[in-house]
Amino acid sequence: MANPSIVLQTSTLPNKPGVYQYYDSEDKLLYVGKAKNLKKRVASYFTKTHDNGKTRLLVKKIVTIKHIVVATETDALLLENNLIKKYQPRYN
């Protein structure tokens, strides 16, 4: 995790279920994902090596991380699905 802004954004995420959204430098939505633990899931993108070229490219473009906390993993799944349908992010 080299980018100090990403480090800060990741460190402030809660250890709760929810949906995360990655944005690029033009504030364009790149990706929507769900997690049972937002902090762990989002941090995993920046702390491990990705074999998939598409994922590596996505990680390089991320400038802003937004999140929505929900009550359950099921709520996260439903919200993720709705947001992907609505916004059709490039990397989903």
The β-bridge relationship of strands 29-35 and 18-23 is antiparallel
List residues bridging with 62 in a β-sheet.
none
Q: Is residue 65 in a domain? A: yes
Q: Is residue 92 part of a domain?
A: no
46 lies in some domain: yes
Residue 39 lies in a domain: yes
Structure tokens at 90: 């490039």
Q: Which two tokens stand for residue 49?
A: 């090596």
Are 91 and 31 in contact, with CB atoms under 8 Å apart? yes
Q: Is residue 18 part of a domain?
A: yes
Number of domains the chain contains: 1
8 in any annotated domain: yes
Task: Specify whether the CB–CB gap between 88 and 46 falls below 8 A.
Answer: no
* pLDDT digits (tens), the chain, 92 positions: 468 899 999 999 999 999 999 999 999 999 999 999 999 999 999 988 878 889 999 999 999 999 999 999 999 999 999 999 999 999 99
Whether 68 is in a domain gets the answer yes
Domain range for 68 is 4-87
d(CA 5, CA 85): 29
- For residue 61, the domain's CATH number is 3.40.1440.10
